[in-house]
Amino acid sequence: MRVIAGSAGGMRLTAPRDRSTRPITDRVKETLFAILGDRVPDARVLDLYAGSGAIGIEALSRGAASADFVERGRPPLDALRANLAATRLADAARVHALEVDRFLAERPATRWNLVFLDPPYELRAIVAPLRALRPHLAPGAMVVVKHFWRTEVPAIEDLVPIRQRRFGETMLTFLEQENA
């Protein structure tokens, strides 16, 4: 696992030492950021179920203004903090060591315009965070959900699916906020 492009391009990232985290492959990450293109520079990024932080760190490396990482597991948090330090991107990052639902239940201090959601591969771990996320989104925000390919991302008010890409058992679903 590495940072693909930008200021930290080519740097290797540490993976958590637990089996509950599914690190994103370089191939999936490369396609993801090719699709996002101009949405990344100056974006306010939220990386939910962040794991090692590979997605949010890639966004920072490519010019995102800031990134918030939400993760509760000790091994992933250790890897995330080590990766932010190694890439020298920690100044633009905030790490929140708590459950995603607790984080999203708080009053929104920031409105994010680019959100990555990589929950455990269970439907209920997609629906509740997507609903809770809506008040935290900036107008026209993009939400990317990484999920098991057989799991359908449910329709959520004001979040319209605009694209999907499949990589083996992994699916990326891109949702865009409308009526913002």
Structure letter (DSSP) for residue 124: H
Answer CATH for 26-177 from 3.40.50.150, 3.30.450.20, 3.20.20.370, 3.10.310.10: 3.40.50.150
CA distance 162 to 24: 21
How does residue 34 score in pLDDT terms, banded at 50, 70 and 90?
very high
> Residue 53: which region, alpha, beta or left (left: phi > 0; alpha: psi -120 to 50)?
left
* pLDDT reported for residue 45: 98
* pLDDT reported for residue 109: 80
CA distance 111 to 72: 21
| pLDDT tens, residue by residue, 119-155 | 876 656 888 899 999 999 999 999 999 988 888 888 8
The H helix count followed by the E strand count for the chain is 5, 7
How does residue 26 score in pLDDT terms, banded at 50, 70 and 90?
confident
* pLDDT reported for residue 16: 81
Q: In the numeric block, which tokens belong to residue 102?
A: 């607790």
pTM listed for this prediction: 0.93
Q: In the numeric block, which tokens belong to residue 120?
A: 């455990």
What are the start-end ranges of the H helices in 44-148? 54-61, 74-87, 100-105, 124-133
Q: Give per-residue burial for 65-86: e unless 16+ CB within 10 Å, then b.
A: ebbbbbbebebbbebbbebbeb
How does residue 110 score in pLDDT terms, banded at 50, 70 and 90?
confident
Please say whether the beta carbons of 97 and 73 come within 8 A: no
